[in-house]
Amino acid sequence: MNANDVTSTRFHDPSSDALKVVLMMYDGSIDYLNKAIEFADVGDTKTKNVYTHMANDIIIELDKAVDLASGGDISLNLKKLYSFMNRHLIQAVQNENIQGLKNVKRILSDLRDSWQYVDDVMQNEMPV
């Protein structure tokens, strides 16, 4: 390997792969909530509930992945947000509350944007 090979090869960061998975999970949950909202708008409660549960399943998995031991206040706050969203989605199903779905979608979208920013910063700081 010569010097040109070294400078043209990007350093691979496994945490970047994990972050991509997190972003995909957020995307999936947001997509499911969009579908739940669409079905709620046309009065299809059964399908709305299916998509709401699918979105909530992803939120539960995101919650399980939070590392409280090394994440400090950020991970504690994330767990609180995931718990809050879980409760609101359950209430949205029980009370036919479409606004609850929209609120959770907004929170997920904001969190997803924040994680995307972290990924962008990490990509820009990688050595070349």
Residue stretches of the chain with pLDDT short of 50: 1-12, 128
pLDDT of residue 18: 87
Structurally, the chain folds into a number of domains equal to: 1
> How far apart (Å, rounded) are the C-alpha atoms in residues 121 and 87?
32
pLDDT of residue 14: 54
pLDDT of residue 12: 47
Token pair of 76, please? 């504690």
> How far apart (Å, rounded) are the C-alpha atoms in residues 7 and 71?
33
pLDDT of residue 8: 35
> How far apart (Å, rounded) are the C-alpha atoms in residues 37 and 42?
9
pLDDT of residue 98: 93
User: What CATH number does residue 69 fall under?
Assistant: 1.20.120.340
Token pair of 14, please? 């496994």
In a domain, 35, yes or no: yes
What pTM, to 2 d.p., does this model score?
0.83
In a domain, 73, yes or no: yes
